[in-house]
Amino acid sequence: MEKTAKLLKKPIAATLIAILFGFLVSAVILGMAGYNPFSAFSALINGIFGRPKYISNVLIKSTPLILTGVSVSFAYKMGLFNIGAEGQYIVGALAANIVGIVCDFHPVIQIPLVLLAGVLAGAIYGGIAGWLKARFSINEVITGIMLNWIALYLSNFVCKMEAFHKPDTDGTYRINESGFISFFTNWKTTEAAGDFMKGHPVLGDILRTDVNAGILIALALTLVISFILFKTTKGYELRAVGLNKAAAEFAGINVKRNMIQTMVIAGALAGIAAAISISGNNPHNITQLSAFESYGLNGLSVAFIAGGSPIGCIFSGLLFGGLLYGGQSVQYFTGAPSEIIDIMIGIIIFLIALKDIIRVFAEKLTK
């Protein structure tokens, strides 16, 4: 009993229990709606792992979610709630798209330039919220929400500009091919590529997707952020401010400066997530939006499931990406509405919010 109680007190235990109950409650809802939950979950698993291309698409789908999750987690360690990650993502995509259209250098220059444009745009946008918080004590949630809407309509405005709008579409021109980070873009369309894919069905199935270097960049940046937070003096300062601002200031830490720096870095992470999507995935452009793209907002859920851990965002981002991508198969094969996936995710997040109940239960077991 004591070992069980110790296990339940661990943060990962609460997360796994929340995920399990998320599936159980979703199964009950599916059953009440007249659908076979076993068939639905079988379709979900098949939609994630059934073919190599499915796994590749899950990784592609998860890449921006991991980075926006890390963005939110990084700010959270400072005691800031980066709900503005959505706006930072949108302006990052916008800047990467503009630079990718206007410039056409050698890939060695073009790719870093496109990615850097997204980073700078997101960093500046995040820095605005951080500066308003540090200078005027304006809650970052309020400014983040307002900046999200500004980013949305700014993006739509640019999409309609003659210099960037592609005729007969609701989007912009795609960026120049020199800015693509997807693998074998031109080779895939050749006859030799077709023959190769037929002879190598597994690898060929993967190459038919927008497989790109994005997931590698995301993993590398997550490790860097984790190292900064837990192995450097700057990371110690940020976490100290997040735990107790008054005590950190008394110890000589510049709280306001750290607030701004935190939001700049968080914005940069959301911005590069967008730049990777533009550079790595078809159609390599932005379109007019009637609502948020939700990569930034979903990043909040990813960070929450991960318990604010940057490394944890890798696994929660993959889970989130798998559910979102595999959820399409649930509707296709069983007829069950794809909204059941959103319900499942909502239940998981809701139960994680109640994880303290599990700790209380563990303490009672110990007694």
Q: What's the whole-number mean pLDDT along residues 116-124?
A: 97
pLDDT at 2: 64
User: 148-161: b or e for each residue (b if 16 or more CB lie within 10 Å)?
Assistant: beebbeebbebbee
Q: What's the whole-number mean pLDDT along residues 281-294?
A: 87
Element spanning 318, H or E: helix 310-334
CATH number of 62-322: 1.10.3470
Is a pLDDT exceeding 70 seen at residue 5? no
pLDDT at 8: 60
Identify which has the larger pLDDT, 168 or 17.
Answer: 168
Q: What's the whole-number mean pLDDT along residues 52-61?
A: 94
Among 221-225, 308-312, 330-334, 355-359, name the most confident range: 221-225
Token representation of residue 265:
């870095």
- Average pLDDT of the chain to the nearest whole number: 89
Token representation of residue 320:
């989130």
Domain ranges (residues) in the chain: 62-322
User: How far, in Å, CA of 116 to CA of 110, rounded?
Assistant: 10
Name residues whose C-beta falls within 8 Å of residue 142's C-beta, 6 or more positions apart in sequence: none
The angle at the Cα of 306, spanning 41 to 59, to the nearest 5 degrees, equals 55
Q: What's the whole-number mean pLDDT along residues 84-105?
A: 96
- Choose among 302, 257, 246: nearest CA to 76: 302
Q: What is the pLDDT of residues 188-238, one digit of tens each?
A: 878 887 888 888 888 888 888 899 999 999 999 999 999 999 999 989 998
Token representation of residue 217:
């960049």
Whether pTM exceeds 0.85? yes
- Choose among 123, 146, 71, 79: nearest CA to 302: 71
Is a pLDDT exceeding 70 seen at residue 356? no
pLDDT at 365: 67
Q: What is the pLDDT of residues 327-343, one digit of tens each?
A: 888 878 878 777 777 78
Name residues whose C-beta falls within 8 Å of residue 151's C-beta, 6 or more positions apart in sequence: 86, 87, 88, 90, 91, 94, 125
User: How far, in Å, CA of 256 to CA of 261, rounded?
Assistant: 9
pLDDT at 80: 93
What percent of the chain shows pLDDT beyond 90? 54
Is a pLDDT exceeding 70 seen at residue 87? yes
Beta-bridge partners for 89: none
